[in-house]
Amino acid sequence: MSSTIDRIRAFFGGPRRRGRSTARGQVLVIFAFGSIGILAVAALVFDVGQNLFERRKQQDAADASALAGARWLTTAPCKTRSNMTNCTEAASAAMALANTHGYPASQVAINIPPTSGDFAGHVGKIQVAISSNRGSYFAGVVGITSFQIGASAVASNNRDYPFPYSILALNPTGCKSGWAHGNGTLTVAGDLMVNSDCDGPNGALTVDGTGASMVVNGNCATAGSISAGTGALACGSRETPAAVVADPLAGLAGPVIGSAAVPSPPAPMLVTGPDLGSNRPDRGCPGSTSPSTATTPRGCTIAFGSRGKVMWIYPGVYYGGLKITQTSGALTVYMAPGIYYMAGGGFEVAGQPTVRTVDAATLLNPLPTTFGGGALIYNTECIGCGGDTKAIDFQNTQNVQLKGYGSAPYKGMLLWQDRKATAQPALKISGSSTMILSGTIYVPKAIFVYTGKGGTEVLDAQVICDQFEMGGNGNVSVTYDPNNAIKLGAIGLVQ
């Protein structure tokens, strides 16, 4: 009866029960807040969509601008210095294209070389970053009034692009990472870069010793300090602190055993001199009675004593390394063009033999005597056979004349120590006035040690190392011909 009366009262506008009114109010509150939430989500979705659209525009502009600037990276100023001040044409071209896409200079940052990301410090690359603030359309209802949007691109123009340093020391902290001492003059024809941030009297680049002198015709650049100490240092220009330069060959994979470029080599061929049969001194070499293998990496030794001997050796994998030594008399070894893969054991030349790369076409007739050809000596460990990485060591190398490899992707590479090997012995060279090393010497995790022997010595090479030490006697000139060194990769976007 009571419920019937209530319905009649409600129909004529009479008082209702409090419980039903409260329920209807709660529904209205929930609906109101739900509507606000739906509107907020819709607003955010719309604004996020606009942000993605704007970022796509920025990315397109950054990509195009970076490529426009990269076209100018092979001009002379950019080759000699990794500095945007000198690469004005590249920077101007990139900025001009960004402007045509609607982005003013205040929203565009251009870095040569890049200052962030995977390619920070890489010479031959340009980075374009575009950023802007965009006001929100509907997100203001939830307190978001603007969005920061940005995009960046890195482009490279490395087609036949020589790395513009005669010497690069990659170690980031070591004191005396670049060290010249002794009683002679070290002359560097191009630029020199030391990445170490060490400061103080024995800084990143140090020249000491009363008779020591270093002359750098190009730029002396270090992240840390330069110290002449008791020596003398002259630079075409100085840059300190300088931005760190990344390893330009970090992405280059080494040769692989079993590939067409790294076969099992044939036996060394005796040209002149006595053949001692099973007792011949090229023990452990291919073709000998006990050749070195992956399971018995004893190494290949070519040696001769009192009687003259001329031999050819061939590219391929040498388990346990390769040693060429002359105890007396005369020993001449000609290296056919190709990759000499040292799987443990290293590569050693001792006792002043003549070791020379020659052209393949001259191997049989006539007898090769002319320097040429091209070889890559790749030094690493012997995975699975217990052979550690041993040194590349040229002792008393009066007659060593080697030219870098002649084919892509390693064209111009001469000496390369695997950056991933556990052991990283120093690469040691005792120079002479008749020694020729032409190409890129790449030991990114090891020290490069050069000891002069007197007179005038020329190292026609580019050196990329962890640290370097140049000492001894005589005057050493690092000439670095970019035509003989390795070139970097191709043109295009890399990030």
- Residues 400-418: tens digit of each pLDDT: 899 999 987 889 999 999 9
Mean pLDDT over 483-489 rounds to: 78
Give 493's pLDDT tier (boundaries 50, 70, 90): confident
Task: With a cut of 50, say whether residue 11 has pLDDT above it.
Answer: no
Q: Bridge-partner residues for 402, per DSSP?
A: 437
Task: With a cut of 80, say whether residue 74 has pLDDT above it.
Answer: no
- What pLDDT score does 277 carry? 42
257 closest CA partner among 408, 404, 403, 385: 385
Task: With a cut of 60, say whether residue 364 has pLDDT above it.
Answer: no
Residues 134, 39, 49, CA angle at the centre, nearest 5°? 40
Task: With a cut of 80, say whether residue 158 has pLDDT above it.
Answer: no
- What pLDDT score does 12 carry? 44
Residues 342, 346, 349, CA angle at the centre, nearest 5°? 115
Render pLDDT for 166-175 as a digit per residue (tens, 0 to 9).
Answer: 999 999 999 9
Render pLDDT for 95-142 as a digit per residue (tens, 0 to 9).
Answer: 888 887 889 999 999 998 888 888 888 777 899 999 988 776 666 666
Taking the C-alpha atoms of residue 173 and residue 350, their distance in angstroms, rounded to an integer, is 34
365 compared with 416, residue with greater pLDDT: 416
- What pLDDT score does 89 carry? 78
Q: Are 113 and 73 in contact (CB under 8 A)?
A: no
Q: Could you give the percent of the chain with pLDDT greater than 90?
A: 31
Give start and end residues of each alpha helix (H) in 116-245.
none
Task: With a cut of 90, say whether residue 322 has pLDDT above it.
Answer: yes
Place of tokens 């603030």: 133
- What pLDDT score does 281 carry? 47
Of 85-89, 204-208, 339-343, the range with the lowest mean pLDDT is 85-89
- What pLDDT score does 310 carry? 82
Q: Could you give the percent of the chain with pLDDT greater than 70?
A: 77
Task: With a cut of 50, say whether residue 80 has pLDDT above it.
Answer: no
Task: With a cut of 60, say whether residue 438 has pLDDT above it.
Answer: yes
- What pLDDT score does 423 carry? 92
**Residues of 10-32 as b/e, b for ≥16 C-beta within 10 angstroms?**
eeeeeeeeeeeeeeeeeeeeeee
315 compared with 361, residue with greater pLDDT: 315
- What pLDDT score does 88 carry? 79
CA distances from residue 101 to 59, 60, 95, 107, 128 in whole angstroms, order as listed? 11, 9, 10, 12, 13
Render pLDDT for 136-153 as a digit per residue (tens, 0 to 9).
Answer: 666 666 667 667 888 999
Taking the C-alpha atoms of residue 92 and residue 99, their distance in angstroms, rounded to an integer, is 10
Q: Is the pTM of this model over 0.85?
A: no
- What pLDDT score does 428 carry? 94
Render pLDDT for 41-56 as a digit per residue (tens, 0 to 9).
Answer: 766 676 677 778 888 8
Mean pLDDT over 447-463 rounds to: 88
Q: Are 321 and 340 in contact (CB under 8 A)?
A: no
Task: With a cut of 50, say whether residue 470 has pLDDT above it.
Answer: yes
Mean pLDDT over 346-375 rounds to: 79
- What pLDDT score does 453 carry? 82
Domain extents in the chain: 19-157, 188-487
- What pLDDT score does 307 carry? 57
Task: With a cut of 80, say whether residue 269 has pLDDT above it.
Answer: no
- What pLDDT score does 105 carry? 92
Q: To the nearest whole number, what is the mean pLDDT of the chain?
A: 81
